[in-house]
Amino acid sequence: MKLETIDYLAQDSAEKFVKSLRETGFGVLSNHPIDKALVEAIYVEWQAFFNSEEKRNYLFKPETQDGFFPAEISETAKGHTVKDIKEYFHVYPWGRIPDSLRENILTYYKKANTLAQELLGWIEAYAPDDVKAKFSIALPQMIENSQKTLLRVLHYPPMSGDEEMGAIRAAAHEDINLITVLPAANEPGLQVQVKDGSWVDVPSDFGNIIINIGDMLQEASGGYYPSTSHRVINPEGADKTKSRISLPLFLHPNPEVVLSDRYTADSYLMERLRELGVI
């Protein structure tokens, strides 16, 4: 099984994209409106930031969760015991951002949000009527002006050789949010688990944009849109000496949005963060 890259500009792109999401939880788009030069510039300037000690001045605040998360306290995926091999910075427009990095990253945040709203429109348009009827408000509206949408700038450092046994860059997990928008990283490694249980590479040509379903959309659609497990595997050979930067935007609905009979976006998020031991 292979994930097909879909041409955003093709006439049937919306239908094909939604079909791919249904089958794999993932959709990969080429020729989309997000400027490659902007993404490239962000990779370069954030690599320099992660290489510097300045990052320590932005240590995350537990109450607000914005700022720099060092490798020592990095995430352990749900159901795992070994920490991921990564460090990251949580960008919120209301949060702390180094001045020199602010303009590009906030431009990207805005553009990726606009694209996400369009794609949520596709996801809603191609859902069957009984699934559409479950959405408490239109999907694009759920994320409109949401203060909860999180842009995570991830840095996976070169492999040092003394990583903890069994640790990988990102252990298998599902995303909590509605959908995730992720420009292809500057190095490969992202894989998705497909229906037969096997792991498939997500096409990582620079310039592609990758979208995946999160648990909140799975919940809101009564399971029609699957939130699938994905992971980032460790590099081999010469690639071991390379860093990997990636830029997932986790689209979170406004807190009061009703997801299902059981959850609002806020009650769902709080439950998950408690499980992860983050709050």
Ligand X SMILES: O=C(O)CCC(=O)C(=O)O
Residues engaged in binding ligand X (CB under 6 A): 152, 154, 170, 175, 182, 185, 190, 230, 232, 246, 248
Query: Using CA atoms, how far apart are residues 127 and 115, in angstroms rounded to an integer?
Result: 19
By beta carbon distance, the residue nearest ligand X is 246
- Judged by CB under 5 A, the number of residues near Fe ion is 1
Nearer to Fe ion, 105 or 210 (CB): 210
Nearer to Fe ion, 16 or 86 (CB): 86
Question: What residues form DSSP beta bridges with 249?
Answer: 151, 181
Smallest distance from the beta carbon of 163 to ligand X, in angstroms? 17
Residue window 167-186: x/- pattern of binding to Fe ion, with contact defined by CB under 5 A: --------x-----------
Binding-site partner at residue 116 among Fe ion, ligand X, none, CB < 5 to 8 Å by type: none
Binding-site partner at residue 95 among ligand X, Fe ion, none, CB < 5 to 8 Å by type: none
Tokens 């071991």, located at residue: 240
C-alpha to C-alpha distances, 275 to 179, 214, 262, nearest whole angstrom: 20, 16, 17
Q: Is 215 in the site for Fe ion (CB under 5 A)?
A: no
Per DSSP, 79 falls in state: T
Query: Using CA atoms, how far apart are residues 238 and 261, in angstroms rounded to an integer?
Result: 51
**52 Cβ neighbours under 8 A, 6+ residues apart:** none
Whether residue 111 contacts residue 119, with contact meaning beta carbons closer than 8 Å, is answered with: no
Nearer to ligand X, 15 or 239 (CB): 239
